[in-house]
Structure 1
Amino acid sequence: MNGHPTPDVDLAIVNGRVYTPEGFADASVGIRDGRIAYVGDPATAPPARDTVDADGALVVPGLIDLHTHVYLGSARLGVNPDKTAARSGVTTWVDAGTSGAGTFEGLLLHVRDRSRARVVPFLNMSYIGLAPAGMLTREVGELWDPAFADLRAVLRAAEEFPGEIKGIKVRASSNALGDNAPVVLPQAREAADELQVPLMIHIGMAPPTLPEVLPYLRAGDLLTHCFHPHAGGRIIGSDGRVRPEVRDAVARGVLLDVGHGVASMSHRVTQQALDEGLLPDSLSSDLHAENVGGPVKSMLTVMEMFLALGMPLEEVLDRSTRRPAAAISRPDLGRLEPGATGDVAVLALEPTDRWKQDSTGVRIQLTQRFVHRLTVVGGEILAPFDDGRNEFRSSPWLSKFGATEDDDH
């Protein structure tokens, strides 16, 4: 009984520009028992056990990166989800098919269950997942042998780990699939339908061509690497405009996911699509060990790129929070409202004159950059840490199509 009011919330974030469903507001955010308890006038905010001063920065829902590879210690591509979350504001990672049915349990036990940041697993249609990635002696796609597309193994994994597979992933490009699209894609469609989860299809170098892929996607499914530059799979046709079949897919509810990656981003394709009013639904990074040192580094890089290409800040944030949350059927995420999960990112937005390179070497000048201040997962602050491990691993893909060294991004 020291005369001070009893705290009504565990953590308060004050003095920030809070991004709410109605827009920006000068408000306080309070979190209690891992959930948002208060968003409103600082003058009427409940007392808090701990308080963080946002000092004019943006206070936004925890970012949701819809395409990443965080299976640390299995595939060569895996990065530490907590280490990157603590410096980027990402609180939910969708692991986009790093694991297949043969390695799925390890992703759950050794990564998902040990991470403070949320890991949402999509299962690769290949039994071996992305285990071949990074081979030095030869390039081997995980589905060059169609026998690895084992529908029965996928369904068995779903029985052994009920409710844990949140999506099905296929890399539908020649370096991953070879000529096996007619064998693999129908099985992937069947798997997604059986499990009632989204199907995420990666597009890239043909075969298969984009018109061969799109019929397998339905409402709520994801077309990732949607702005890649490679012939045969581009969303831009020979006339320089968005393909009609892409617009048809979007009209029936197919979602466009950025999936920046190393070889999967063209500023020119992106700008053309934006100029025609075709916007992505999610600004994902395709973060992995071969791009975490550049050209991606984190989801913030992708968000900065879209600001530079003319997307309004509110749209950038919406496609980094609420829309990705809807894509994985998690309405409790991606919003700062009472009752929502207490995931928060505090980001300062500052002017910059840096340049950013795409997969072909084309550069654009950035106008603003996000400076990470704070990551909160389920009401708990995730402090940055150094585990002594350099996660970046060099990739021959970085310069394969014209890109050179990183632009100090």
Structure 2
Amino acid sequence: MLDLLIINGHVIDPKNNVDEIKPVAIYGGRITKYENGEEAKHVIDAKGKYVFPGLIDSHAHMFQDGTEIGMYPDTAYIPTGVTSAIDFSAGVANYSIFRQAVIARSKVRIKSFLQVCSAGLVTTSYHECINPKYFNAEKMDRMYKENRDNILGLKIRQSEELAEGLGIQPLIATVDIANKIGCPVEVHCTNIPVPTSEVLKILRPGDIFQHVYQGVKNTIIDENGKLYDCVLEARKRGIIFDTAEGRKHGDFEVMTKAMEQGFVADMCSTDLVLGSMYRRPIFSLPNLMSRYLCMGISLNEVIRMTTERPAKLMGMENEIGSLSEGAYADVAIFDIMDKEQLYKDWKGSKFLANKLLKPEMTIKDGYIMYCAPDYIYEN
């Protein structure tokens, strides 16, 4: 007998090219094959709803109580259909306590990128140090090797205000360390001190260009709104583009101009911190996804950006991010409501959306962990 059976829901599972009404069966914390007529201990009627793989936020800051910006992953994510996420907060000096105190105790599945600044992002009172002479490459190598099941790569914030006259040398040094370790690099690209092309030339296949729609300086489009050729060339080489819009990294004009020229980011993520959790302009991952849907990205693609692709980045493409037989039973049930919502970007530009992705239920490892108060799914 099955543990859970979800019936009558419109299943969207991009990894398996599923876009239809069909049952989803769960047994022993995993997705399992459904045999017609098979009984279940618990049946969830999802008629009129959408059924997605558990969502994945590919960029966030979850070092709760260990950094000033660290938000609470279970509180922020479980009620919004998010079952996995990637953190970018800790450095070699505090990663171990982050793993013990937060990762090990969270219901949300968390993997990490290690900040090249040893202290990570501990405070908002001052910027982290990205001067390469203070990088502890030996300890990064050891930390990565001892935690390969969790640490995915290295992270550098290559903003002009952090570089302090060093130009792009911090990124070059980070990539050099990553080459020796054997891992990818994720680079924060808001207000970079050099043209976008120079950053992309340094990045390797599998590296992540973060905050792709930022509009502060050296963006992905020129002064006439034309997408730089180097962006498309980088994608062909295997560079990954993520949004991580946060509070100041999303520019509607940059996004729409890029979309008009056929460019859409690979992943949709929030860059959530304590100060933006359930607050404008991001609020939550589904709220951001709602805007992308209304801006013209198909529902299938929005779900792919928040399931299949980040699952691959986490090295878990056969275990999460899909409803494949044998995958962890992480499932998100949503309604898509007709609701007007006014969005504003970092410089005050407005966008009026008319659809809202409303979380109805979150299932993690086969257990119901959230259900909206008005979702009465049993007869």
What TM-score do you get using the length of structure 1 for normalisation? 0.86
Query: Which residue in 1 is equivalent to 2:20?
Result: 25
Which of 15, 19, 30 in structure 1 is aligned with 2:8?
15
Q: What residue in structure 1 maps to residue 33 of structure 2?
A: 38
Deviates more, 1:324-333 or 1:53-62: 324-333
Which residue of structure 2 lines up, in the alignment, with residue 142 of structure 1?
128
Is 1:287 matched with 2:272? yes
Contact preservation (8 Å) 1:39, 1:338: no
1:227-278 Cα distance to aligned partner (Å, 9 max, x none)? 011122x001123211111121111110110101011000110001111001
Structure 2 residue aligned with 1:405:
none
State yes or no: 1:200 paired with 2:179: no
Q: CA deviation at 1:384?
A: 6.9
Q: CA deviation at 1:174?
A: 2.0
1:9-408 residue pairs with structure 2 within 5 A? 9-20=2-13, 21-38=16-33, 44-95=36-87, 97-132=88-123, 134-135=124-125, 140-143=126-129, 145-232=131-218, 234-292=219-277, 293-331=279-317, 332-383=319-370
Counterparts in 2 of 1:253 and 1:212: CA distance versus 1, 3 Å: same
Following TM superposition, by how much is the alpha carbon of 1:118 offset from its aligned partner in structure 2, in angstroms? Answer: 0.2
| Distance in 2, Cα, partners of 1:120 & 1:383 | 22
Letter in 2 for 1:27: K
1-side partners of 2:313 and 2:149: how far apart?
16
Are the equivalent residues in 2 in contact too, given 1:16–1:54 (CA < 8 A)?
A: yes
**Matched AA of 2:141:** L
Deviation at 1:159, TM superposition (A): 4.0
Residues 144, 180 of structure 1: 8 Å contact kept: no
On the 8 A contact 2:267/2:305 being kept in 1, the answer is yes
TM-score, structure 2 length as denominator?
Answer: 0.92
Matched residue SS, 1:227: coil
Whether the 8 Å CA contact 1:151–1:187 is kept in 2: the answer is no
1:378 CA drift (Å): 1.4
Shift of 1:163: 3.7
The answer (yes or no) to whether the contact 1:85–1:375 under 8 Å persists in 2 is: no
Aligned mates of 1:91, 1:45 — CA distance in 2: 29
2:63 counterpart letter in structure 1:
Y
Report which stretch shifted further, 110-119 or 327-336.
Answer: 327-336
After superposition, give the CA deviation of every residue in 1:123-174 in whole Å (9 maximum; x if it has no partner). Answer: 1111111013x21xxxx22125444432222113224434431121111112
CA distance, structure 1, for counterparts of residue 176 and residue 28 of structure 2: 40
- Report the count of equivalent residues: 368
CA pair 303-169 structure 1, distance change in 2 beyond 3 A? same
CA shift for structure 1 position 39 = 5.5
**Inter-CA distance 39–59: structure 2 relative to 1 (3 Å threshold):** farther
Q: Structure 1 pair 172/126, CA: closer, same or farther in 2 (3 Å)? A: same
Q: Which moved more, 1:182-191 or 1:360-369?
A: 182-191
For 1:361 and 1:113, the matched residues in 2 are separated by: 39
Q: Deviations over 1:296-332 (max 9, x none)?
A: 1111122111111111111111111112212222112
Gaps of 5+ in 2: 373-379
CA distance in 2, matches of 1:305, 1:368: 8
Task: Report the 3-state secondary structure (helix = DSSP H, G, I; strand = E; otherwise coil) of the residue aligned with 1:366.
Answer: strand
Could you tell me how far apart the structure 1 residues matched to 2:236 and 2:220 are?
A: 15
Task: State the Cα deviation string for residues 204-226 of structure 1 (Å, max 9, x = none).
Answer: 11324423321221111111100
3-state SS, counterpart of residue 161 of structure 2? helix
Indicate if the aligned counterparts of 1:79 and 1:289 stay in contact, CA closer than 8 A. yes
Give 1:282 shift. 0.4
Q: Is the 8 A contact 1:12 1:51 kept in 2?
A: yes
What are the Cα deviations for residues 174-200 of structure 1, in whole angstroms up to 9, with x where unaligned?
233333344321232133333433211
Equivalent pair of 2:243/2:267 in contact (CA under 8 Å): yes
Residues 148 and 346 of structure 1, relative CA distance in 2, 3 Å threshold: farther
Aligned CA distance change for structure 1 residues 272 and 162 (closer, same or farther; 3 Å): closer
Distance 1:77 1:37, change over 3 A: same
Per the TM alignment, residue 28 of structure 1 is displaced from its structure 2 partner at its CA by: 1.2
**Cα 1:181–1:45, aligned 2, differ >3 Å: closer, same or farther?**
farther
Residue-by-residue CA offset, 1:36-67 (whole Å, 9 max, x unaligned) = 10358xxx152112222223211000111100
